[in-house]
Amino acid sequence: MNGRGVVTERPLIVSFSTELLAFVVHALREHQKLYTRSGMQVPAGVADVVAALTSGAIAGQSVPPLEADGDSREIGPVSPRLVTYATAAQMLACSHRTVKRLVAAGALNTVRVGGLSRLRVADIDAYIADLPAGDHTDQGAA
């Protein structure tokens, strides 16, 4: 090892997926920021490792371009897997109380996240898919 903590005798050859490589670089940069904000000294060689990873120096891998904030790509909207009663009511176009009735009747199941009850989007989708199709007139119409 040289004085900065980087192995120079035997290079480490590692194969990363592009996603994993971007994650590791982002994590290292975030930890550098955390150390700096906390008044801690960043371990020697960390900046060299980040530079090597971002330059594609490891096993000739292509590296996604990194933005200044360390993000490798813009992440689009993420679809929720769990929702609140209120969101479930919106998805079903019904009231909050109707969702509670469906849960009480066993038509929908809840899961606990910490102390909070949530409904699985997949369960709501399955419930909707199982609803019988019909040629009903709108009950709310005059």
**What pLDDT digit, counting tens, does each position of 76-129 carry?**
566 678 899 999 999 999 999 999 999 999 999 999 988 999 999 999 999 998
Q: How confident is the model at residue 133 (pLDDT cuts 50, 70, 90)?
A: confident
Ordered alpha helix ranges (H), 1-142: 18-37, 46-54, 85-92, 96-104, 121-130
Q: What percent of the chain has pLDDT over 70?
A: 65
Q: Which long-range contacts (CB under 8 A, 24 or more apart) does 123-128 make?
A: 124/83, 124/88, 124/91, 124/92, 127/92, 127/102, 128/91, 128/92
Question: What integer is the mean pLDDT of 1-28?
Answer: 67
**Would you state the pLDDT for residue 41?**
80
Question: What integer is the mean pLDDT of 38-55?
Answer: 76
**Would you state the pLDDT for residue 76?**
59
